Amino acid sequence: MSYVAIKGGGRAIAAAAAVTEYLRTEEGLVGTAAEPLEINAILHQLRHLVDRVISEGGVYHPQFAALAIKQSLGDTLEAAFALRAWRSTRPRLSATPPLDTSRMRLIRRISSAFKEIPGGQMLGPTPDYALRLLRLELLDESPEAFRAVARDWLENCPEARLPDSFPKVLDALRAEGLLPPVSAARSQTAFDITREPLVFPVPRSAALATMARAETGSLLAIAYSNMRGYGDVHPTVAELRVGYLPVLLPHPVTGELTEAGEVLMTECEVVAMYEADKANDSGGKPMFTVGYGACFGHNEVKAISMAILDRALQKGMKDGAANPSEDPEFVLLHVDGVDSMGFASHYKMPHYVTFQSDLDRLRTTQSKNREIA
């Protein structure tokens, strides 16, 4: 009787890696001018891909994010995953105090709540009002034309006198008594999701940290369910800002806070309608409520989705969840890209043993049915 070979797994894995590497480099066969994708080109020309990967990877390392994008052939889930795994090998040496985002060096800042805001609106780089027409001239862009664009833009750019920092729109609302004051909760230490497992109920800071590195599409889908009707946040974007936030760390010798660098990030604060006389920080006076979203990189859809879900989850934590987007377990345990893509992929692995066991149950049940019939 014949039997089945049970060797060869190692060779198959090596061959799969080799053929994937072939696909990465096959351009070399057809184009004589083919060159490997440069990390710098990814960093600059595919910057939103890098933004997404540093955000979902949860590590601010644009260069390694670009490397991860290159080696994963542009798969964002895989690239964020590689960055996250790299982070597992790094000890955590220090923690920043809460950083003041009013100190951000802004490249963009808008409010949909007011026509004019203190410091002014600044549209900055955004595709929001661009017509999504294919720019066919980019199909064959010459290096000379490419280099000239940025140079010309800088030359013709009027010198702007921008202040070092912009006031927050929320502060103005707070001063008017339309929002609750920043509570004592601010002095609490933030929950570190990289060092503590989520055991429900979790504090708001754990929810915010989980969403900050969540997979963009997952976060968007659940937030969208709330926007459409499985929820009722109805937010107004009080402020959305994108820019470089100075990162302060205690000096290793003196302990004094020292600027260690800056990170590009997106922050979104939404204001939602007030609720009926609920006991809150302001002693029962009706007030607007706030949802907060922030993440590494320039990721506006993610920051807005997060702010809406923050608001929805706060409601769920207080009154119980009336729909999935208000349920902390439902939202927080299903938005991580590394977790969800890993588990979806694992179904491709051998399941011979469990399937054999399933067959045993089904056959036994079927034969019992036959006996009865």
Residues that bind other proteins (CB under 8 A): 1-4, 6-10, 12-13, 81-82, 84-85, 87-92, 193-201, 329, 333, 338-347, 349-354, 356-361, 364-365, 368-369, 372
Question: Would you say 187 or 356 has its CB closer to other proteins?
Answer: 356
- Shorter beta-carbon distance to other proteins: residue 141 or 196: 196
Contact 179, 271 (CB under 8 A): yes
Strands of 289-296's sheet, edge to edge? 105-110, 236-250, 257-272, 289-296
CA distance 64 to 84: 11
Instruction: Say if residue 308 is exposed, middle or buried (CB neighbours under 10 Å; 0-12, 13-18, 19+).
Output: buried
Nearer to other proteins, 7 or 186 (CB): 7
φ/ψ bin of 105: left (φ > 0), alpha (ψ from -120 to 50), beta (otherwise): beta
Q: In this structure, is the dihedral angle defined by the CA atoms of residues 195, 347, 55 and 234, taken in order, positive or negative?
A: negative
Nearest distance, CB of residue 205 and other proteins, angstroms: 15
Q: Measured from the CB atom, is 115 or 195 closer to other proteins? A: 195
Q: Are 297 and 65 in contact (CB under 8 A)?
A: no
Q: How far is the CB of 56 from other proteins (least distance, A)?
A: 11
Minimum CB–partner distance for residue 224 and other proteins (Å):
22
How far apart, in whole angstroms, are the C-alpha atoms of residue 39 and residue 70? 8
Closer residue to other proteins, CB minimum distance, 187 or 354: 354
Q: What is the DSSP letter of 182?
A: P
Closer CB to other proteins, 132 or 348, in the complex: 348
Nearest distance from C-beta of residue 216 to other proteins, angstroms: 18
CB of 3 vs other proteins, minimal distance in Å? 4
Smaller CB separation from other proteins, 12 or 160:
12
As a whole number of angstroms, the distance between CA 318 and CA 326 comes to 10
Q: What is the DSSP letter of 181?
A: P
The minimum distance between CB 58 and other proteins, in angstroms, equals 9
CA distances from 66 to 41, 76, 277 (A): 9, 11, 50
The answer to whether residues 195 and 92 touch, using CB atoms and an 8 Å cutoff, is: yes
CB of 363 to other proteins, least distance (A): 8
Q: Which is nearer to other proteins, 27 or 192 (CB)?
A: 192
Smallest distance, other proteins to C-beta of residue 73, A: 17
* Unique residue bearing structure tokens 């933030």: 190
Closest CA relative to residue 303, chosen from 331, 268, 269, 335: 268
